[in-house]
Amino acid sequence: MLMLTHALLAASLLAGPVSTDIALPAQPAPLHGTLLTPEAPTAVAVILPGSGPTDRDGNSPMGVAASTYRLLAEGLAEQGVATVRIDKRGIAASAAAGLDETKLRFTDLAVDARAWAAEAASRTGQPCAWLIGHSEGALVALKAVDGGDDKVCGLILLAGAGRPAGASIREQLDAGLPEPMKPQAFAALSELEAGRTVADTPPALAALFRPSVQPYLISWFAQDPAALLAAYDSPVFIGQGTTDLQIGVTDAQALAAADPRATLKLWDGVNHLLKTAPADRAANLATYADPALPLAPSVAQDVATFIRETESTH
């Protein structure tokens, strides 16, 4: 009998974590994701994706194929942490749940995140779930706990902005637009930041400032990540790479300043997709299309260690 028990244990370890496609009831259609469960998980987390058409694995038709979220989920499973990684509303398997663009608001993403946290906790028998937000997903996580949520254990904010989105977009426009276009573009951005729609937008920016997406932009620009974090009183981990081309160390430091109790981890030589990459732009961007390149070794380990140590003290 003892030999049989040992054989069954060995078989379970060799089998690795169990991957299960799951659905979350929602209107107008269910949301979809993947639950990755190690043997006897000690915690569960929901991985919230970044901006644009990013799917549950962290990939996008806009040239991103690094599989960051799948790799993160696998790394956390090795550390005993179960994860749910999701196709957000309107994307990939959750495409049918997409709302009319004129009706979508940033708060819709936060409501979905809270629902996923409750679902993840229920499916794994945990009292609560962690929210792991990457890039724009970090802001979604912060908004999800605005006002509190007892189904969220705490927040893991990875490569998250430390200031409102309008400030980042203004910098990008300033760096990328010809000088003659800047006054009109900045005027339109300022109106949206003030909560007002604009009719006259630069033709070259029609996609960014199209009328149908302006209500969403207004709802997004209104979110201040540092203010949201300052109002949150549960455990927070802030992780940021030093060769991130999209979010800077100063953003992570701004978040940490808003919550002095938060744990801040700066990963040297790690980029926006949480992979080891040089500061050189071309070489850095080459990692965006390389799913075979693993995550930087410390990322999953540091996140899992924080979760494990925090849960042991609560």
pLDDT score of 273: 98
Does 10 have pLDDT greater than 50? no
Whole-model pTM?
0.92
pLDDT score of 9: 40
pLDDT score of 203: 80
Of residues 70 and 5, which shows the higher confidence score?
Answer: 70
Residue for token pair 């004129």: 102
Go through the domains of the chain in sequence order and give each one's CATH number.
Answer: 17-163+223-312 (3.40.50.1820), 165-222 (no CATH)
pLDDT score of 8: 42
What average pLDDT does the structure give for the chain?
93
Per-residue pLDDT averaged across 190-212, rounded? 89
Per-residue pLDDT averaged across 37-61, rounded? 96
Q: What is the CA radius of gyration of the chain?
A: 20
Q: What is the 3-state secondary structure (H, E, C) of 249-298?
A: HHHHHHHHHHCCCCEEEEECCECCCCCECCCCHHHHHHHHHCCCCCCCHH
Per-residue pLDDT averaged across 266-279, rounded? 98
What b/e readout covers 33-43, taking b as 16+ CB neighbours within 10 angstroms? Answer: bbbbbbeebbb
pLDDT score of 3: 53
Q: How confident is the model at residue 14 (pLDDT cuts 50, 70, 90)?
A: low
Q: What is the pLDDT of residues 123-161, one digit of tens each?
A: 999 999 999 999 999 999 999 999 887 899 999 999 999
- How much of the chain exceeds pLDDT 90, in percent? 83
Let me know: does 278 contact 251? Beta carbons within 8 Å. no
User: Which of 39-53, 92-106, 172-186, 213-227 has the weakest average pLDDT?
Assistant: 172-186
Q: Is the dihedral of CA 219, 220, 221, 226 positive or negative?
A: positive
Q: What is the pLDDT of residues 171-187, one digit of tens each?
A: 888 988 899 889 999 99
